Structure 1
Amino acid sequence: MTWQTANVPVPLSKYEAKHFKLEIDGKVATITLNRPERKNPLTFDSYSELGHFFRAAADDEDIKAFVVTGAGGNFSSGGDVFEIIGPLVEMDTAGLMRFTRMTGELVKAMRACPQPIIAAVDGICAGAGAIVAMSSDIRYGTPESKVLFLFNKVGLAGCDMGACAILPRIIGQGRASELLFTGRPLRGEEAERWGFYNRLVPGDAVLAEAQAFARDLADGPTFGNAMTKRMLQMEWAMSVEEAVEAEAVAQALCMTTEDFARAYRAFAAKETPKFEGN
């Protein structure tokens, strides 16, 4: 089994997506999983293309924030049963390892991408779709949405694409254990109460709200935002003492930026700072 390796140019505004819909509005790019007739499942090719796309984002100077969503009232039903699960049953161990490492690369790319990623989740958000939402930095959901980590339902472990590392850090060890052992749905209000969603929004407004939040971040000190994301990631593996020292270095570096000087001049003049990301 082979799958596409995408050649993603920088700037991303020149990229023509093949396995998802890409819309760019100023400094915000919206990625839409776009197979609504099947509730937007992921395929070998869409996994691969999304991973390459987010890797390329590190070198893009124009896009400052991403929104990820799904078409037709659902986020994503996860890995396509017939296009992924069926072929996996026929693969040897080496092929299966290539697949699981490739899917994990998508999560690594999303976490390494310096721009904030906001997920706008409605309807079904299952399996690998739940992982994409989990791997985003911010999640907006709807009361009707259902998040399901379904891996045990197909005879697999819950430790898929970093779920056992990332999900407990969002909702806590006990709650993550429950979802990963049972595969039960995490519905909208409970997801917000547990901290999986940052905000609960009506279905007809969730994408617009997520995009508005992304625009606010894109208009902010984006060098500082990227540093915040990087340190949130790096400090998982640090002691408190190491984290305090690492943040001292990171913040000193941010203090060398022109945005820091712009903020000082604006505050001194009683004006609102206009950040440019440098």
Structure 2
Amino acid sequence: MDELIIRQEGEVAWVTMNRPDRLNALNPTLVEALREFFVGLYWRRDVRVVVLQGAGNAFCAGLDLKDRNQANSRHSIGAGLTGQRRISEIVIAMRRCPQPIIACVNGAAAGGGFALALASDVRIATPKTKMNAAFIRIGLSACDIGVSYFLPRMVGSSVAAEYMLTGRFIDAERAYQLGLVSRIVEPTAMEAEARGFVEDMLHATPLGLRLTKEALNHAVDAQGLEAAIAMEDRNQILCSADGDFPEGVRAFLEKRKPVYENREG
């Protein structure tokens, strides 16, 4: 059984973590597959949007502590740091890749699964969604795999401290109140909800979509308004000079789906 199933439909990659019997917990094989996929996305223009989900009744329960290779082996500090970087590189690649990532978070998103959800651009939840920084409950720090970066920027430092210092679960309703998720739908409606987001995103030109994600990421850490506006000004000039811009305008005026050229670069 493939640990990670990647199905491409046109310009959309549907990515499924496929260890349902282990609640899609991260073992070395799944970590490697996720990292290779997201790192490789940076250079791909045939994929414009990614939908990330988990098979079965969970999104991802975090690190698989029952996996013998991880739980029972002893490493030097250097080897341990290398192994840690193999995992943390996934979320760096998720933010760096130009494709928006829609996370369909059904059931548990704990520890590393929480990090994967936070590193996505849009999160859809179900009533069964439960997210937490589980690391602190197993003898580690809650600051792991980008959680200490993403969470306070999304919910503020006080709320982030509440959940990171305790390891408490954030249920779907609380996540919606905090703005961590965009929608709460039944599990059977999750794919349709994701497809709605995909359809709207694909109305953007390929360049416009990529540059919007890039500028959003930079704006989060921008030193001020002028820095953010400088990036926005650059984006608008680049997009208006792109060959797909006239088609975007025509499609808008004609109230139809745009047909963009499949461009490289």
What TM-score do the two structures reach when normalised by structure 1? 0.88
Which of 239, 244, 250 matches 1:265?
250
**Structure 2 counterpart SS, 1:205:** helix
Q: 1:87 to 1:219 in 2, by over 3 A?
A: farther
Which runs of 5 or more structure 2 residues have no equivalent in the other structure? none
Per the alignment, do residues 273 and 257 of structure 1 end up closer, same or farther by CA in structure 2, a change over 3 Å counting?
farther
Alignment of 1:112-261 (within 5 A): 112-239=96-223, 240-261=225-246
Counterpart check, 1:74 vs 2:58: yes
Give 1:85 shift: 4.7
Give the aligned partner of residue 48 of structure 2: 64
**Identity in percent:** 33
Amino acid at match of 1:94: G
Count, aligned residues: 260
Secondary structure, in 3 states, of the residue corresponding to 1:81? coil
Shift of the alpha carbon at 1:221?
1.9
For the residue of structure 1 that corresponds to 2:51, the secondary structure is: strand
Distance across 2 between alignment mates of 1:258 and 1:33: 37
Pair 1:25-2:9 in alignment:
yes
For 1:142 and 1:27, the matched residues in 2 are separated by: 26
Cα pair 1:30 1:68 within 8 Å, conserved = yes
CA contact (8 A) 2:50 2:102 kept: yes
SS in 2 for 1:220: coil
Offset from partner CA, 1:51-87 (integer Å, 9 cap, x none): 1111111222221111111111211111101226514
The Cα offsets for residues 205-257 of structure 1, whole Å up to 9 and x where unpaired, read as: 11331133223313432311110110111223322212211221121111111
- Preserved contact between residue 204 and residue 248 of structure 2 (Cα < 8 Å): no
Give yes or no for contact 1:20–1:34 (8 Å, CA) kept in 2.
Answer: yes
The SS at the match of 1:98 is helix
CA contact (8 A) 1:221 1:275 kept: no
Give 1:54's aligned residue.
Answer: 38
Structure 2 residue identity aligned to 1:220: A
